[in-house]
Amino acid sequence: MADKVRWGVAIPQVFFDEPADMALVSSWAKKAEDLGYDSLWVQEGIVGLAPVLEPVTLLSYIAAITDRVRLGTSVIVAPLRNPVQLAKSLSSLDHLSQGRLTVGLGLGGNPDDLVPFGISPERRVRRFVEIIDVMKALWTEPEARFQGEFWQLEGTRMEPKPVQKPHPPIWFGARQPQALRRAVRHADGWMGAGSSSTEQFVSGFGQVQMYLEESGRDPSTFAVSKRVYVALDNNEERAETRLREWFGRRYGNAEMASQVSVWGSADRCIEELAKVTSAGAEMVLLNTAFDDMEQLEALAQDVIPHL
């Protein structure tokens, strides 16, 4: 694996036409660790058109069958969650993984997604920030105290605290300027969305650097990463077609595949991924869409060593 850039990979989590293939997930996760990937990641999709396994549950399973690789969420849509319960689940997961968890959180793209959960879309940004503050308090204070608009803690105790101190790294998924500024203010890192292009990531990286400078924060204390959908195939037309089919079923937007993905031969994938690392990504999360085991091995053998 490359020395300077860390390479993560998305766990098979979406199973369209069959029950979840846990034999594949198990063998895939063990192979990914053996191949030297830095981290394994899950997404969130509690409701929606695609059948997606719940992220914390899935990572708990992965924690039990791996030993060294880091585990991350990219991202949990925090406003859908109760912060007390989420803090407990994530702290437990940090123990199950012996301190290997990175917590990726996001605001969510559609305010109306909150409605099925009995939550008003109003003031969801304020709700999001309070969720972060509540979890940090529960993770770090013997008797957590917090007074907010949505939650109040009066000496609330929660044990065990996370293995990682003061808490697992918190990375925000963000794209808009105000969200990037919020990441610099409240998080330990930023992850560029897989639904954004390399050019949009470059722009976002520049804004993050500006906000870090404005806040007087040391850039070395703030992680920068990017999710990239990728398909390794010498037949570029076939790769793009399969990506578009997958995006259509997963997100209801086949066109997005052509706008944000990297596909084609090893040389072309190397060239395109190099643009992401050159733009400032310290960790690249590779997200395959099909042939999960084959893509996992081919990327590790034919692409990553050349970056």
For 2-35, what is each residue's pLDDT tens digit?
A: 458 999 999 999 999 889 999 999 999 999 999 9
Q: What is the pLDDT of residue 18?
A: 87
Q: Which two tokens mark 28? A: 């895939």
Residue/partner pairs of 197-205 with CB below 8 Å, 24 or more apart:
197/259, 197/260, 198/272, 198/275, 198/276, 198/279, 200/175, 201/226, 201/276, 201/279, 201/281, 202/279, 202/280, 204/174, 204/175, 204/180, 205/279, 205/280, 205/281
Distance between CA atoms of 284 and 289, rounded to whole angstroms? 16
The number of C-alpha atoms within 13 Å of 36 and in the hemisphere containing its C-beta is 10
% of the chain with per-residue pLDDT over 90:
96
103 bridge partner residues: 170
| Cβ atoms of 259 and 225 closer than 8 Å | no
> How far is the CA of 255 from the CAs of 43, 76, 193, 243, 252, in angstroms?
20, 25, 16, 10, 9
The domain segmentation of the chain, as residue ranges, is: 6-306
Q: Please enumerate in sequence order all residues whose Cβ is within 8 A of that of 245, keeping only pairs 6 or more positions apart, or say none.
A: 254
Closest residue by Cα to residue 233 from 287, 294, 300, 274: 294
Strands 76-77 and 152-156: unpaired
Q: What is the mean pLDDT of the chain?
A: 96
| Cβ atoms of 251 and 227 closer than 8 Å | no
Q: What is the pTM of this model?
A: 0.96
Q: Which two tokens mark 198? A: 């390399």
Second CATH level (architecture) for the domain 6-306: Alpha-Beta Barrel (3.20)
Closest residue by Cα to residue 9 from 294, 288, 272: 288
pLDDT in tens, the chain (307 residues): 445 899 999 999 999 988 999 999 999 999 999 999 999 999 999 998 899 999 999 999 999 999 999 999 999 999 999 999 999 999 999 999 999 999 999 999 889 999 999 999 999 999 999 999 999 999 999 999 999 999 999 999 999 999 999 999 999 999 999 999 999 999 999 999 999 999 999 999 999 999 999 999 999 999 999 999 999 999 999 999 999 999 999 999 999 999 999 999 999 999 999 999 999 999 999 999 999 999 999 999 999 999 9
